[in-house]
Chains A and B, each alone.
Chain A
């Protein structure tokens, strides 16, 4: 079953602009994670936010979590061409024994 739904499906911006991607989910979670996938490559873990956290930062990344709305957002500030990739949110559901359920992803294109 699919849990996370990313929005938008595709996003095109200029280098230096900020990129915001949203994720909605359906059930109670232990944590929510964001991953990046470059074309033809594996997924790279970016950040994990626990259900009792509301905001987390890592370098140019900022993740928020609103468990009342069952939603999360990923903000990439001062984007670079190298940020071009697909971004996925994934939820670790309560009682799932660590089974991550992924959304469909947002394809981000950063133009130089």
Chain B
């Protein structure tokens, strides 16, 4: 059983399109996150959700919006895609108690052409 699963694994799309990446965790964790990893492998947090409430919202463009239908899901919607959005996006989950590490998904490689 995959603990944190993301779909799709690869996404190639044209500039200006709107796309979504889905994430699901079956660990019963309270908090879920989205991270962006750029071409230099630098990881930066984008969002986190705790029990369906946004608790961290870093300075990302408002074209990016997280949506959490329930505690086990945190989807990422991106509107009007730009070339600079090309990156690998990772979903992660955690108990939110600062005791255990994060569990990451395998990533979604987004390429905007």
- Seen from chain A, the residues whose Cβ lies within 8 Å of a Cβ on chain B are 2, 30-31, 33, 35, 37, 41-48, 86, 88, 90, 92, 96-102, 104-105
Contacts and interface: CB of A to CB of B under 8 A. Distances in A.
A97 B96 CA distance: 8
Interface residues of B, number: 27
Interface stretch (B12-20, B74-82, B103-111): B103-111
B48 A98 contact: yes
A41 B41 CA distance: 12
11 contacts: A35-B101, A41-B106, A42-B104, A45-B104, A92-B98, A96-B56, A98-B98, A102-B42, A102-B44, A104-B41, A104-B42
A97 B33 CA distance: 12
Interface of B: 4, 31, 33, 35, 40-45, 48, 55-56, 90, 92, 94, 96, 98-107
A101 B33 CA distance: 12
A98 B101 contact: no
B102 A45 contact: yes
Contacts of B4: 42
Q: Which applies to chain A's interface (DSSP): helix, strand, loop or mixed?
A: strand
Given A41-B106, A42-B107, A98 B90 contact: no
Contacts of A99: 45, 48, 56
